[in-house]
Amino acid sequence: MRKIDKTEIYVMKSYRQLKSEKRRVAVIGTGQTKFEARTPNKTYYELALEAAMMAMSDGGITLGNIDSVVYGIYNDLFERQIMPDTYVHDYIGMYGKPGIRITTGGATGGYAFRSGYSEIASGLADVTLVIGAEKAQDCYDWAQGKTTPEVIKSIAYSADMTWEFPLGTSAASSYAILASAHMKKYGTTEEQAALVSVKNHGNAINNPFAQSPMKITVDEVMQSRMISHPFKMLDCSLYTEGAYALVLMSEEKARETDVKDPVWVMGIGSSNDKSFTGSRTVNDRMGKYGDIADLRNHYESAAMAYRMAGIENPRKSVDVAELHDAFSFTEIQAYEAMGFCERGKGGKFIEDGVPMMGGDLPVSPSGGLLGAGHAVGATGVMQIGEVVNQLRNRAEKRQVEINRGTGLAHSIGGPGSSYCSVSVLGVD
């Protein structure tokens, strides 16, 4: 049996202490703009305001009820604005109230939600607004007269500028390394990953806010243009413009205002891995996930969230999940890390139809990032909002069967998926 070191004992003691002191938090309102390739007639702060007003209307509150705001905005270069949250805060009328911005790559929305939860759980606020917004296509390469090259380059700036960026790294190549390791270790196939793309693009057909709804086949995914082996074009999500907002409220305030259908935050777990993917097996203090085929921080985040929520068997406890699928292989790895199947069995999990609509555990009924779109700062907020609306039975044509009253959202980002946050939500 592995000996637990002093650092881990300290972390566990601190976690238990925090757990005993925090307040219960509910999500009471959601709001979303349509996710689109371009919204040329709206600024990022106009998108943020639109989503925020919808969320406040859904939650039955006004700006005056908001105590604090958390902004999920990933990339200053996308918005062409340093500290873009400052101007959103002004635009939506929140001056005089505290606001903070979170930026953790593709996990920005998940970490923004975590921060909003902490505002209320700690007692700093009773009502917090969480807004994720992005305007990726405003990032323009004037020399080439194109948008896409500059967007890709600006994301590559997230890599280490000394050792990685000069070698031509990209988001796709960073995650392709992880996918290739999983294929080599477990025998996962490109065809199995293609099933994720087929599923999520198909799910998006029933999402009126989705960017890329389409009915496609495994063959079409396999024949699409190669991006970074093993990723083909249809294995990759598209850059998106849009916003999503959530209203969070303390239990005391929710009871006081007679909120009709609150969805409770049951557990949150977050973990950061080493940014240099190749160094993750070196000086591995935890000693649990010794190679890059298994995403260590995903397992740790899920375990933390489940422990906080009191969940021992996620496969039998979770009704619906939204898993990060910027690339199709990532969803397969997430099946395993979230405990929905055994390690190395993610490919078979989707082959067996378990995560399909109508399966035992539907995954990404929204269409995920592949189908709904990847508005980076808003993505994790959207995933949580989708789970909330599923648990409230408000997902319309994409509604899944809710039996246990529990859902999960999984948000990742950064070089080689170095950030991960998992949120477990439930209804009474």
Q: What is the pLDDT averaged over residues 234-249?
A: 96
- Residue partners of 310: CB distance under 8 A and separation at least 6: 266, 267
Question: Is residue 404 domain-resident?
Answer: no
Q: Over the stretch 141-159, which tens digit does the pLDDT of each residue have?
A: 556 555 556 666 666 666 6
**Residues of 77-105 as b/e, b for ≥16 C-beta within 10 angstroms?**
bbbebeebbeebbebbebeeeebebbbbb
pLDDT band for position 366 (50/70/90)? Answer: very high
Question: Is residue 382 domain-resident?
Answer: no
CATH of the domain at 125: 3.40.47.10
Task: Report which secondary-structure segment, H or E, holds 421.
Answer: strand 419-426
Question: Is residue 311 domain-resident?
Answer: no
Question: Is residue 93 domain-resident?
Answer: yes
Question: Is residue 346 domain-resident?
Answer: no
**Residues of 333-343 as b/e, b for ≥16 C-beta within 10 angstroms?**
bbbbbbbbbeb
Taking the C-alpha atoms of residue 198 and residue 367, their distance in angstroms, rounded to an integer, is: 10
Question: Is residue 70 domain-resident?
Answer: yes
pLDDT at 199: 99
> Please, what is the Cα angle at 288 between 283 and 290, to 5 degrees?
60
Each as own residue / partner, the long-range contacts of residues 3-8 (CB below 8 Å, 24 or more positions apart, any chain) are: 5/285, 7/285, 8/286
Domain that holds residue 94: 25-139+240-248
Percent of the chain exceeding pLDDT 90 equals 68
- Which of 70-79, 254-263, 382-391, 413-422 bottoms out in mean pLDDT, i.e. has the lowest? 70-79
Taking the C-alpha atoms of residue 300 and residue 179, their distance in angstroms, rounded to an integer, is: 19
Tell me the pLDDT of the chain averaged across its residues: 88
Nearest CA-CA partner of 265 in 27, 21, 15: 27
pLDDT at 14: 41
Nearest CA-CA partner of 130 in 9, 211, 26, 36: 26
Nearest CA-CA partner of 381 in 108, 126, 125: 108
The residue written with tokens 């943020």 in the block is 48
pLDDT at 168: 67
Q: Over the stretch 74-105, which tens digit does the pLDDT of each residue have?
A: 876 666 676 777 888 998 999 999 999 999 88
Q: CB count, 10 Å around CB of 281?
A: 13
Taking the C-alpha atoms of residue 260 and residue 12, their distance in angstroms, rounded to an integer, is: 35
pLDDT at 6: 45
Number of structural domains in the chain: 1
> Please, what is the Cα angle at 271 between 308 and 177, to 5 degrees?
135
Q: Over the stretch 9-67, which tens digit does the pLDDT of each residue have?
A: 444 444 444 444 689 999 999 999 999 988 888 998 899 999 999 999 999 999 999 99
Could you tell me the maximum CA-CA distance found in the chain, to the nearest angstrom? 60
**Amino acid identity for residue 424 in this structure:** V
pLDDT at 428: 86
Question: Is residue 422 domain-resident?
Answer: no
Report residue 120 CA to chain centroid gap.
21
pLDDT > 90? residue 123: yes
- In terms of DSSP bridges, do strands 231-232 and 68-72 run parallel, antiparallel, or are they unpaired? unpaired
pLDDT > 80? residue 277: no
Q: Over the stretch 390-402, which tens digit does the pLDDT of each residue have?
A: 999 999 999 999 9
If one compares 354 and 7, the residue with the highest pLDDT of the two is 354
Question: Is residue 18 domain-resident?
Answer: no
